[in-house]
Amino acid sequence: MEKRTGGMDLTEEMKDKVLRGERIDRQEALQLVEEPLDRLREAAEEIRKKMCGDGFDLCTIVNAKCGRCSEDCKYCAQSAHYRTACEESYPLLSTEELLAGAKHNERQGVLRYSIVTSGRRLSDAEVEQVCGSIRRIREETSIAVCVSLGLLDEAQFLKIREAGASRVHCNLETSARYFPSVCTTHTYTEKIETLQAAQRAGLSVCSGGILGLGETMEDRIDMALTARELGVKSFPVNLLNPIPGTPYEKNTPLSNEEACRCVAIFRFLLPDASIRLAGGRGLVGDKGEACFRSGANAAISGDMLTTAGITVETDQAMLHTLGFEVTRNDG
């Protein structure tokens, strides 16, 4: 291992830099790719404990509008461009259905509930309907509400915030360089504009991506750097679940070791963020436990949009064993 100033190795030097409140740059992050994994994970945990403590942000999502999406994202079972086993399609769920889901999750101890819809964006009428649902949820529960409603504009986000939502999700998915290989029906710039519009409307933002699309480690680091530039404090990390019928159906899922390395490097780049394991963690044998020992401190629990997830009860038991406390990070 290369020795650095004062006998420190690179991982130690970068960890100390982060803990001093300084940022590591792209080149430094790329050097971490070659560092010993055990030491990298240990250092990422030190950063997580110092910057975030033992709080763990656990959320659930509801597939509030399903199927026949106009976008051609190559990983997605709901895209109308591909023939997959996901044949279910339905319009926006009613307020009563969304409220029932929120109450169920609150009873399970979940503190954050996200309303997710398929499609490029909701119409104004659909936004009004969602706003009515958010108001009811906020009136009748104490659960925080997030939304993932596509490429909305600032005026629509203002309505969402006024209804009582606190956070908007819109994944970057990958780097700006690689994104055109993943989707051609909307652009990376549109995604960034959506996140900035939500921020101008007074909402926090949640934005990360998917690992295993064929991207490089450079793409993964560039994605995290873009999130950092945008001030993202909730960074979802999805592991590709190759869906038969999509262009990525033959992609090889990430190994647990590679997932842990990515999570650890993300912690160096986003030291005070909620690094959130999301879709695909059921593909690794330990349900994400190793990643939670590598700097991750948040997760989406329960079922994903079109695939089975890990139950809230199972996650809560694991988090208790790992020494986490389920809390809500509103950054």
- What is the value of pTM for the model shown? 0.94
Q: How many domains does the chain have?
A: 1
Q: How many residues does the chain have?
A: 331
Q: What is the pLDDT of residue 230?
A: 98
Tokens of 150: 């596509």
Whole-Å CA distances, 117 to 62, 99, 206: 8, 16, 15
Would you state the pLDDT for residue 259?
Answer: 97
Q: Is 1 exposed, middle or buried (0-12, 13-18, 19+ CB in 10 A)?
A: exposed
DSSP for 124-136 reads HHHHHHHHHHHHH
Q: Is residue 12 part of a domain?
A: no
- What is the residue range of 270's domain? 25-327
Digits of tens for pLDDT over the chain (331 positions)?
A: 344 444 569 999 999 999 999 999 999 999 999 999 999 999 999 999 999 999 999 999 999 998 788 989 999 988 888 888 777 788 999 999 999 999 999 999 899 999 999 999 999 999 999 999 999 999 999 999 999 999 999 999 999 999 999 999 999 999 999 999 999 999 999 999 999 999 999 999 999 999 999 999 999 999 999 999 999 999 999 999 999 999 999 999 999 999 999 999 999 999 999 999 998 888 887 989 999 999 999 999 975 454 556 888 899 999 999 999 998 888 7
* Domain contains 155: yes
Q: Where are the beta strands (DSSP E) in the chain?
A: 55-65, 112-117, 144-148, 167-169, 204-206, 209-211, 234-239, 274-277, 298-301, 325-327
Cα gap 82→40, rounded to integer Å? 39
Residue 162: give its domain's CATH number: 3.20.20.70
Asked if the structure places residue 265 within a domain, the reply is yes
Does residue 17 belong to any structural domain of this protein? no
Which candidate, 161, 266, 169, places its Cα nearest to that of 223? 266
What pLDDT is stored for residue 115 in this prediction? 97
The answer to whether 226 touches 175, Cβ cutoff 8 Å, is: yes
Asked if residue 244 belongs to a domain, the reply is yes
In a domain, 143, yes or no: yes
pLDDT value at position 37? 97
Residue 20, in any domain of the structure: no
| Tokens describing residue 140 | 């009748």
pLDDT of residue 2: 42
Q: Is 160 helix (H, G, I), strand (E, B) or coil?
A: helix
